[in-house]
Amino acid sequence: MTRTALITGGVSGIGAATAKQLQSGGYSVIANYFGNDAEADAFHKETGIPIFGWNVADFDATQQAVAKIVAQSGPIDILVNNAGITRDSTLHKMTLEQWRSVIDVDLGGCFNTCRAVIESMRERRFGRIVNISSVNALSGQFGQTNYSAAKAGLIGFTKALALEGASRGITANVIAPGYTDTGMVHGVPDEILKTIVSGVPAGRLATPDEIARGVVFLVADEAAFINGATLSINGGKYMA
């Protein structure tokens, strides 16, 4: 049986690497994106993977998009919640918009997509959900109270969902990547990035493919007994 996977934020960075690895592994893959049509079109032309554009922070848009995907491609077996944004600021300067936008996309988007697929997964007694958190959910990060809160929220959300889905053959797990060689990280000023890399025992950033390998592992049929776990892939930067 060919499993169908939906990846949010799936046309660049960790999401794109995950989409390509799953496609190579024989999965049927669909990628969500929002905002950058040119990037999404280039990804589709390169891979042939279907793309669907909507804002995961919008509950109604998410339900409608998932219904459209299911009508075209069949039920979703695997959901990878990778979509995320940053709006960095120290708390005493953070605006309400900076707070809400990060919470709504990074945490609210996970609820919206999971809500859209969970009933079908329960009915079919199979599902694999992987939520992409961050090392900063575990360690905290200066200037990221919003991002750290949202990504830590994903861990609690996932543990609760794992308990709810276990008897129905559904697993929910978290990957907490360290700093990874993506566009988001390259938006960090060079002097700060050098400081970050110097704090990684491996002495470098992760590659998107290294994070994607963790996703491929967790979504496999054979990973049925891994549930509610947080897999840290961070080069030794933070060890709990």
**What does the pLDDT look like over 53-75, one tens digit per residue?**
999 999 999 999 999 999 999 99
User: Does residue 240 lie in a domain region?
Assistant: no
Nearest to 158 by CA among 110, 89, 223, 108: 110
d(CA 145, CA 153): 12
In a domain, 74, yes or no: yes
**Residue 219 belongs to some domain of the structure:** yes
pTM of the complete model: 0.96
Q: What is the pLDDT of residues 15-52, one digit of tens each?
A: 999 999 999 999 999 999 999 999 999 999 999 999 99
Q: Is residue 127 part of a domain?
A: yes
Spatial neighbors of 36 by CB under 8 A, at least 6 apart, are 11, 12
Alpha-carbon gap, residue 34 to 6, rounded angstroms = 14
Residue 239 placed within a domain:
no
User: Cα(55)–Cα(148) distance, rounded to whole angstroms?
Assistant: 21
Query: Which of 55, 59, 58, 4 shows the shortest CA–CA distance to 26?
Result: 4
In a domain, 32, yes or no: yes
Q: Whole domain around residue 48: which residue ranges?
A: 4-233
Taking the C-alpha atoms of residue 130 and residue 26, their distance in angstroms, rounded to an integer, is 18
**Within-domain flag for 211:** yes
Q: Among 41-50, 94-103, 195-204, name the one with the lowest average pLDDT.
A: 195-204
Indicate which residues carry an active-site annotation: 147
The set of residues, in sequence order, having a beta carbon less than 8 Å from that of 27 and lying 6+ positions away, is 2, 3, 4, 5, 78, 219
Q: How far is 131 from 157, CA to CA, in rounded Å? A: 9
- When divided into structural domains, the chain yields a total of 1
In a domain, 85, yes or no: yes
Q: Tell me, what CATH number does 26's domain have?
A: 3.40.50.720
Q: What is the mean pLDDT of the chain?
A: 96
Beta bridge partners of 53: 33
